[in-house]
Structure 1
């Protein structure tokens, strides 16, 4: 009798002073999950470099990827083996050779969108949700502070939605990429002007950044904190303008809800129009025609070179914007 082969995957975890690949068995597939062979995963630069320093040893890295469906759970509808998909959200999505992902955190990739671009779908979902929290209307003005991956995508989404957008980024290489993508980018808040309907703070910054940004927003405007930023502002500044302040949480409604994520029970569309899964789907769909990603991907590493990737990013993180880890060639659409 031939012994059955237990499927395994390679997953990237933190180790003191760096990262390591670990072999992990794959269990029985959840009835409402997909098993995905990873093509590429996106590096969330600031988040992951912080995790390398601060997270316990053995922490899995990454949360946004793309690949090809290899198997579907018994209750899955709308997905089939061979589908190209974008997937999002730890603890289901990491830098790993195979992923098991709830259908609520998965989106089919249109034929005209590359799997390289689709790997950034989860980061795009975070940007989409942050933009929604600003509650802007067509023709209004937005300020984006910070042009890392989420800030760059947020600005592209705002412009595609008809919002007049100005970006602030002190790093000249990131400003150059933004301008090449058709965005208006300046080096300092003082150059951006004022009277904005809303500001999205997508940067890691000092305690004073929120207060300084608030002074660029009009009376009764909005501040949305998307990045890992201290929420400190003088009451006088907020009071004088009667500003609303919100902290955007990840990709949207459903995040951290075990019924939505682990059990993959979607929220009714009539009551929750934009969940994290539907934000993911929109971000990937807009990559087909509305978002100019020509300047976005700056670094691509073979997954086996993960340690080198993090070392290079740590030396000069501002040189990077969209960073990918590649796991292998995609299967033709329609083939497992």
Structure 2
């Protein structure tokens, strides 16, 4: 019997038999290997997205796995292929799609939120969502391709250039990934993070961090930049204080990239935007080029995915894993192992 983890009510998950849907035309049946738990999954778990998800809901969109079976008309994939999924399905007809921005389609199906996700041992998805993985890439590491694609998209939206000073406010998984991708683009990077555990991990990856509780971050940026301020800031904390910091550290014509999901409106110092001619850009999701670049960065070790994985637990232990992440502490990324013992981590 194959299993699925389902969200049934606020802070409530259960395990149930996975419903295997045979792949129809243009579809592929996958055996997920590893699935990461992300911040959006936690938002759902808290009940914050009940108006959007259909209960019971199978969550999960950060994944790696293998093809089991292909449906009619699928010619590019075969059983055994190692893959990840770009979990977006768009209508192709709305104004955003017609303008080439399918990832922000007005009718976007974000797979794992709006439709069943990867926290199950059998998963059927459209074949055009698959992204090929190198045979040499371990599948546990490959589960971090999706959040790395987020970081690639964010750095691209902010227009980060070599030599620029970049401040990342929030040193969780996505914040650290943004810092790594920005560094790979040639930027000088600082990560602002309250958690000592997360700061330590970032520093072990060669990143410089600041503890906002230990000193004035704005003053630190002024000293670092010779009074010029940072060219780019990323708000990844989701906190009101993080927004304020991200705005205040920017120099003339600096760019603020908003990454975090803010569940309520925030006060923003618009006078600072006027006075310094700042730019605010939103960054949501990714496109296929971002995903393919993310595969490269994880595969070549630019993004040391294994260092971000705090633990790997069996799929059936998902409720405890969600509780551990909710409680904070010394946790960065937890992966759910969806295999039945016959699929190794290595491809």
Whether 2:232 is the aligned partner of 1:198: answer yes
Which consecutive unaligned segments of at least 5 residues does structure 2 have?
A: 88-110, 223-228
2:3 to 2, 6, 10: 10
1:111 to 120, 124, 135: 135
Task: Identify the residue that residue 48 of structure 1 maps to in structure 2.
Answer: 41
1:36 to 17, 26, 30: 30
1:217 Cα deviation from its structure 2 partner: 1.0
Task: Identify the residue that residue 300 of structure 1 maps to in structure 2.
Answer: 312
Whether 2:66 is the aligned partner of 1:68: answer yes
- Contact 1:181/1:294, CA 8 A, preserved across alignment: no
1:24 Cα deviation from its structure 2 partner: 4.3
Name the CA distance, whole Å, in 2 between partners of 1:69 and 1:318: 36
Task: Identify the residue that residue 151 of structure 2 maps to in structure 1.
Answer: 127
Name the CA distance, whole Å, in 2 between partners of 1:219 and 1:104: 42
Query: What is the total number of aligned residue pairs between the two structures?
Result: 301
TM-score of the two chains, using structure 2 as the length reference: 0.80
1:213 counterpart SS class: helix
Task: Identify the residue that residue 262 of structure 1 maps to in structure 2.
Answer: none
1:295 counterpart SS class: helix
Cα deviations by residue, 1:179-212 (Å, 9 ceiling, x for unpaired): 0011111112336414211111111212x43233
Name the CA distance, whole Å, in 1 between partners of 2:278 and 2:314: 46
- 173-182 vs 101-110, which deviates more? 101-110
Which consecutive unaligned segments of at least 5 residues does structure 1 have?
A: 1-7, 253-274
- 116-125 vs 25-34, which deviates more? 25-34
Alpha-carbon RMSD across the aligned residues, in angstroms, is 2.3
- Contact 1:158/1:165, CA 8 A, preserved across alignment: yes
TM-score of the two chains, using structure 1 as the length reference: 0.82
- Contact 1:68/1:82, CA 8 A, preserved across alignment: yes
2:167 counterpart SS class: strand
- Contact 1:65/1:93, CA 8 A, preserved across alignment: no
Name the CA distance, whole Å, in 1 between partners of 2:86 and 2:205: 25
- Contact 2:18/2:122, CA 8 A, preserved across alignment: no
1:332 Cα deviation from its structure 2 partner: 7.7
Moved over 6 A (4+): none
1:92 Cα deviation from its structure 2 partner: 5.3
